[in-house]
Amino acid sequence: MVAYLIEAGAPPDAEAAGGVTPLHRAVRNRCSAAVRVLLDAGADPHRTNNAGSTAITLAGHTTGRGGSGSPAAKAEQAKIISMLDTVAD
């Protein structure tokens, strides 16, 4: 769905309330596939939301959502951190 929206013209760094971008949401939702598509489309991992958090900083935090400590969520978190580390330089 993320790839479709970008192909249809949605900007990968579009801001929602609070300065939250699709990359921030993908990281918080622990969806490595969405993170990959957004990064490939040019989403900025250094962009801050209004609280001053980047996708990179959010990746290292717990999400506060149910199941965020599950093995599957932790595996997604590790993939996301690895992806963001490669573009953080």
DSSP 18: G
pTM for this predicted structure? 0.90
Q: Side chain identity at 61, as an amino acid letter?
A: H
Which candidate, 37, 28, 31, places its Cα nearest to that of 56?
Answer: 28
Could you tell me the residue range of the domain that residue 60 belongs to? 2-87
Higher pLDDT, 31 or 65: 31
Q: How many domains does the chain divide into? A: 1
Residue 72's CATH number: 1.25.40.20
pLDDT at 43: 96
Per-residue model confidence (pLDDT) at position 61: 85
Q: What is the pLDDT of residues 6-56, one digit of tens each?
A: 999 999 999 999 999 999 999 999 999 999 999 999 999 999 999 999 999
Q: Which amino acid is at 89?
A: D
Are residues 37 and 3 in contact, defined by beta-carbon separation less than 8 angstroms?
Answer: yes
